[in-house]
Amino acid sequence: MESGICTEARRKNSRECGPCSVRKVAASGDIPLARLDSLLAQVELAHYGPRAEIFEQDEAGRRVFVIRRGLVKLVHDNESGLRRTVRLLAHGDAMGLEVLVDGRYRHAAQAVEDLEVCALPTRVLADLDAHSQCMHRELMGQWQHCLDQADTVITRMSSGRARERVANYLLFVGRTTEGDPDGLMGRDEMAAILDLTTETVSRVMSDFRREGIVDDPAALKKVCQGL
């Protein structure tokens, strides 16, 4: 891992750092600059290749991760051993916030494509939260964002007609990654997210390719609207 990323002046206005909650705290002036720099110096930059595990379900953790570039899937294994992708995370999203509560990750996190993340020690976040109103608001905002993402998976990607589910998936991936929406995940992985059979996903994707709408947001939105 590469340390000191948050204290580099060249990253202050970068696209990757723009959505970061820690960056907003730095701009708020809530914490004296010298103390803030000592805390931010502990943030590390990490890189992961496709399919790499960032953390495992039920693993004890001391870091929260913020995505700078790439796409991550959160996976849950139930008691019977069934593995299900429950959420997709992209640029600016935080993962592992639950370790601030009980010290363990609730899901496994796996990189879908080349991934770059900032690793924030929980002790740093706890210190910032205790001394910065801005950080407290940002953490609450991230928790709400997690709930909104879960709602999106339930209401848009796991319910409705098969064409609508696949269209919503393609729209999300198209907005959040520079990769090919059709090539990021296998059909079985897409089926697990969308709660469809692999055969159904393959059939719908074949239809979309024939219609020429796989990478056409306007046409995909019409599908989502039932048009």
Structure tokens, 33? 């600059």
pLDDT tens for 52-108 read: 999 999 999 999 998 988 889 998 888 777 778 888 888 888 899 889 888 999 999
Q: Is 88 left (phi over 0), alpha (psi -120 to 50) or beta?
A: beta
Residue 154 DSSP code:
I
Residue 18's pLDDT is 58
Residue 11's pLDDT is 53
CA atoms within 13 A on the CB side of 63: 17
Residue 23's pLDDT is 61
What is d(CA 168, CA 49) in angstroms, rounded to the nearest whole number?
26
List, in order, residues 6 or more apart from 79 with CB less than 8 Å away. Answer: none
Structure tokens, 59? 């693993």
Residue 109's pLDDT is 95
Q: Tell me the pairing of strands 2-3 and 108-111.
A: unpaired
Please, which pLDDT band fits residue 1 given cuts at 50, 70 and 90? Answer: low
Where do the domains of the chain lie, and which CATH numbers do they carry?
Answer: 2-126 (2.60.120.10), 158-224 (1.10.10.10)
Residue 15's pLDDT is 60
pLDDT tens for 162-219 read: 999 999 989 888 877 666 667 778 888 888 888 899 999 999 999 999 999 988 899 9
Q: What is the mean pLDDT of residues 18-30?
A: 60
Sign of CA dihedral 73, 158, 59, 130: positive
pLDDT tens for 116-151 read: 998 989 888 888 777 777 776 777 777 777 777 777
What is d(CA 227, CA 220) in angstroms, rounded to the nearest whole number?
10
Sign of CA dihedral 61, 62, 64, 65: negative
Residue 59's pLDDT is 95
